[in-house]
Amino acid sequence: MKAFPLMALLLAVGAHAAEPQDRAVRNYNVYCVQCHGVNRDGNGINSRDMAVKPRDHTDTKAMGDTPDELLFKAIKGGGLAVGKSVLMPRWDGVMSDEEIGELVGYLRIVSKTATK
Ligand code: HEC
C-alpha cells in the first residue's frame, strides 16, 4: 500500500495549515508570489514585464508608512481602490475578509513592522 505514507503526510500538512499564520503564508504563496516574489521583495516572475513594479513587502520604511487599513483595502479592492496601479489585482471574492486580515498581519512580519 504505497499511498498510505503520502496520505499521512498530506494529513499532517493539512493539520499544520490550520494555524492562521500558516494560512496567510499559504495564500501568499498561491496568490502573491508570481508578482511580489518568493522573497517577498517585489521580484516575482511576472514583475520583469510589468510597467509598475509590485511593492517590495520587505521594505520596512515604505511598509511602515502604510497603515493596516490601506494594506487591507489594497488587497481586497486591488490597486485601483487605493489610487494605485490596476496591475495589483483585487482579491475580494477570492479570499474572505478574515484571510485578507491575516495577510495584513503576515505582511507586518515580513516587513518587520509589527507593532505587537
Ligand atoms: C499580477 C501581479 C500582482 C499580484 C498577483 C499581486 N500583486 Fe500586490 N501589487 C502589484 C503591483 C504592481 C503593486 C504596486 C502598485 C502601485 O504601486 O501602483 C502591488 C502593490 C501591493 C501592495 C501595496 C499597496 C499600497 O497601498 O501601497 C500590497 C499590500 C500588495 N500589493 C499585496 C498583495 C498581496 C497580499 C497579494 C496576494 C494576495 C498581491 N499583492 C498580489 C502586483 C500584484
**Mutation test of ligand 1: which of 88, 95, 96, 98 has the most ligand atoms closer than 8 Å to its C-beta?**
88
Give me ligand 1 centre to Cα 17, in Å.
Answer: 24
Of 59, 55, 33, 26, nearest to 42 (Cα)?
Answer: 55
Model pLDDT for residues 47-64, shown as the tens digit of each residue:
999 999 999 999 999 999
What count of other Cβ atoms lies within 10 Å of the Cβ of residue 101?
Answer: 18
d(C-alpha 93, C-alpha 108), whole Å: 23
Model pLDDT for residues 76-112, shown as the tens digit of each residue:
999 999 999 999 999 999 999 999 999 999 999 999 9
Residues 6+ apart with CB under 8 A from 99: 23, 24, 27
CA 47 to the chain's CA centroid:
15
d(C-alpha 41, C-alpha 17), whole Å: 24
Model pLDDT for residues 7-58, shown as the tens digit of each residue:
666 665 555 556 768 999 999 999 999 999 999 999 999 999 999 999 999 9
